[in-house]
Amino acid sequence: MKKDMEESTSKLNRISKTTNFTFNVIFIILSLICILPVVFVFMISITSENSLARYGYQFIPKEISAASYIFLWNEIHTILKALGISVLVTVVGTVLGVALTTTMGYVLSRSNYKLNGFLTYLVFIPMIFNGGMISSYVINTNLLGLKDSIWALILPLMVSSFNVIICKTFFRTTIPDSIIESAKIDGASQLNIFTRIVVPISKPVFATIGLFLCFGYWNDWFQSSLYINNANLLSLQALLNNIQKNIQFLANNPSAGLSLQQYKNLMPKEGARMAIAIVIIAPIACAYPFFQKYFISGLTIGAVKG
């Protein structure tokens, strides 16, 4: 009887070969949609400028050239400076953001906290609407004085309502109240409870929020366009954005001892755009597969109702 039930259940859960083949085809197509644009950008970056001018963008270059990457290597000081800013902003912003987001989420997850309802609404409202870009700009520049400061790239992205809600939901559904009450009876403070009990069993949500913040900081260029005029504080993404808008950004800062006109003539315009895009994509693309499971867990955490 038991064996018959198992066989019946197995048949119900079994996927037909046609369905399995259809799913495989769909996933292959979706994968190609994600991968092919990156490959296409790389092919353009190794295409000679003459070939681009004559034949346009092609998936298989007629003339291969490393001039774009040689050009970026000659601008290594500018690239490394922007890369250093990106790394600094990403590391500092992620560490501070994880600390603030998780502590806020933990506080809001405690139902006996007196201001729980008020602070929950205060966190939830910005998910629906906010004061707008102008008000944020005025506060960050005039009130906080963040113009042309490294903190202008860190503070505006440090805490988001979405991440706080994810942490609140995780702590409420994962951390039993009995554990917290037992620690209180033993005389533990709230800080000790959080650092010694909550943190060790909440690594998935810490990793998830950290990855969300890391990718957000790494890919951000908008904060630089708003608050940064100093070229020494431009991130790698902002540098790419400037090149995309005006390829003469680097040409106006020649470093090889050439005249400005000679420098412009030697510079691979289209290829340089694509080459620096590859430079930006490569680190995050290599890191993502190792942390994909945390992104999935982050999405499922947000879907749990507590």
Residues 190 and 281 in one domain: yes
Q: Is the pLDDT of residue 304 over 70?
A: no
In a domain, 57, yes or no: no
Residues 132 and 6 in one domain: no
171 CB-side CA count, 13 A: 25
Residues 211 and 247 in one domain: yes
Q: Is the pLDDT of residue 195 over 90?
A: no
pLDDT score of 284 = 74
In a domain, 60, yes or no: no
In a domain, 87, yes or no: yes
In a domain, 176, yes or no: yes
Residues 18 and 139 in one domain: no
Mean pLDDT, residues 144-163:
88
In a domain, 25, yes or no: yes
Residues 72 and 41 in one domain: no
In a domain, 27, yes or no: yes
* pLDDT (tens digit per residue) in 80-111: 888 889 889 999 999 999 999 999 888 888 87
**Structure tokens belonging to residue 165:** 């809600």
Q: Is the pLDDT of residue 29 over 90?
A: yes
The owner of tokens 């950290």 is 210
**Structure tokens belonging to residue 278:** 């590859």
- Exposure of 300 by Cβ count < 10 A (0-12 exposed, 13-18 middle, 19+ buried)? exposed
The owner of tokens 């691979």 is 268
Least confident among 17-21, 103-107, 238-242: 238-242
Query: What average pLDDT is seen over the chain?
Result: 78
Domain that holds residue 81: 68-303
DSSP symbols for the chain:
-HHHHHHHHHHHHPPPHHHHHHHHHHHHHHHHHHHHHHHHHHHHHTB-HHHHHHH-S-SS-SSB--HHHHHHHHTHHHHHHHHHHHHHHHHHHHHHHHHHHHHHHHHHH-TT-TTHHHHHHHHHHHHH--S-HHHHHHIIIIIS--TTSGGGGTGGGS--HHHHHHHHHHHHHHS-HHHHHHHHHTT--HHHHIIIIITTT-HHHHHHHHHHHHHHHHH--HHHHHH---GGG--HHHHHHHHHH-THHHHTS--SS--HHHHHHHS-HHHHHHHHHHHHHHHHHHHHHHHHHHHHHHHHHHH---
The CATH number assigned to the domain holding 269 equals: 1.10.3720.10
Residues 37 and 76 in one domain: no
Least confident among 77-81, 169-173, 240-244: 240-244
Residues 6 and 134 in one domain: no
Residues 12 and 158 in one domain: no
Residues 95 and 145 in one domain: yes
CA 65-87-198 angle, to 5 degrees, is: 135
Residues 29 and 97 in one domain: no
Residues 169 and 293 in one domain: yes
In a domain, 88, yes or no: yes
In a domain, 62, yes or no: no
Number of domains in the chain: 2
Residues 75 and 201 in one domain: yes
pLDDT score of 3 = 55
